[in-house]
A = this chain, B = another copy of it.
Amino acid sequence: MKPTIYDVAEAAGVSIATVSKVINGTGRISDKTRKHVLDVMEELKYKPSMVASALTGKSTFTIGLTIPDLANPFFAEIARAVEDRGHEYGFNVFICSTDNDPEKEVKYFSLLTQKRVDGIIIASRTQKDQFLKRLIQHQIPIAMIAREMPTLAVDTVMVDDFLGGYQAGSHLIELGHRRIAMIAEDMSEMSSRERVRGCRQAMLDAKVEPDEALIVVGGFAVESGKAAMDRLLEQDHKPTAVFACNDVLAIGAIQSARQHGLQVPKELSVIGFDNTVLATIVDPPLTTIAQPIQDIGRQVVDLLVEEIKGEKALKQRVLLMPQLVVRSSCAPAQ
């Protein structure tokens, strides 16, 4: 059987209260007893049970992270960042892939609260405000990695999508492009709309007129990005550059271009968004707008931990800046 606090108390010839105090550094204990108790703990290889201490009202040092899909590199990288930062604070993280299925999401939330996690980071996309509201009423600390402004007071970290789009557009324009296509993810999503809006604004600011026919919706899969690019390339007046709202779509666009006999970047410049590993893997290496994944992870965890510790009165909204990463998928317009 695993040794308990009683075992070390007995072996050390003190009371369990004393042992508890040396474990937690609370109360006043003489250096002598402290050292002795520590020695005994070591000897018995005693590790306090966190479930028992959690029951006594302390925290579980556990947080939940809900994401759409861990197998998606973007979220895997987010998860890794959250894990690392959490670990620095002594937290373990339960990762929950919801596939954006509301049912799974509810089930996971229910499990997480039953396990008395200290807080939850929400990076999945389904969360209807309605549902979030219930969680908040449940008093459980929450922080979000969001793509749109929640209509609720929740700690949130977001990336400036408009700026990202603007950076992408500017870059293409500086390279001399005028006919710039855009592949959005899903126009019903604010975040995607913002990226497109940013790119378009960059064009307007440079006095180049966006062509509505060059703005299409692509979704989230390589295949759909490819299909979207196919449509773009079958038009009469082809674009010389395309801004894809995520790296996966950008990869689809490159594949499509290649199939149409177009060289990237010589005949078609492609710029993506996210800067996942994939961007470094494709050929040509993808110029893209980087999301500061490490920072996103750090910041949400920081927000959540402050919330957990109750050190914070007000909710915060952190807006992070995206950044252009130039690789080889964009070239000057011919």
Contact = CB atoms under 8 A, between A and B. Distances in A.
A114 B281 contact: no
A92 B111 contact: yes
Interface residues of A, number: 48
A156 B178 CA distance: 58
A49 B51 CA distance: 11
A9 interface: no
A266 to B, nearest CB: 15
Contacts of A52: 55
How many copies the complex holds: the figure is 2
Contact of A80 (B97, B251, B277): B97
Contacts of A280: 222
A97 B83 contact: yes
A55 B55 CA distance: 8
B62 A71 contact: no
A96 B82 CA distance: 11
A131 B222 CA distance: 43
A76 interface: yes
Contacts of A258: 283
A282 interface: yes
A62 B112 CA distance: 11
Contacts of A80: 69-71, 97
A47 B83 contact: no
A268 to B, nearest CB: 14
Given A51-B115, A83-B70, A281-B278, A95 B95 contact: yes
Interface string A82-97: 0110000010111111
19 contacts: A51-B51, A51-B55, A51-B60, A51-B116, A52-B55, A69-B80, A70-B80, A70-B83, A71-B80, A76-B76, A83-B97, A93-B95, A94-B94, A95-B95, A251-B281, A254-B283, A278-B278, A282-B283, A283-B283
Across the A-B interface, the 9 shortest Cβ-Cβ residue pairs: A76-B76, A70-B80, A71-B80, A92-B94, A50-B114, A51-B54, A283-B283, A47-B114, A50-B115
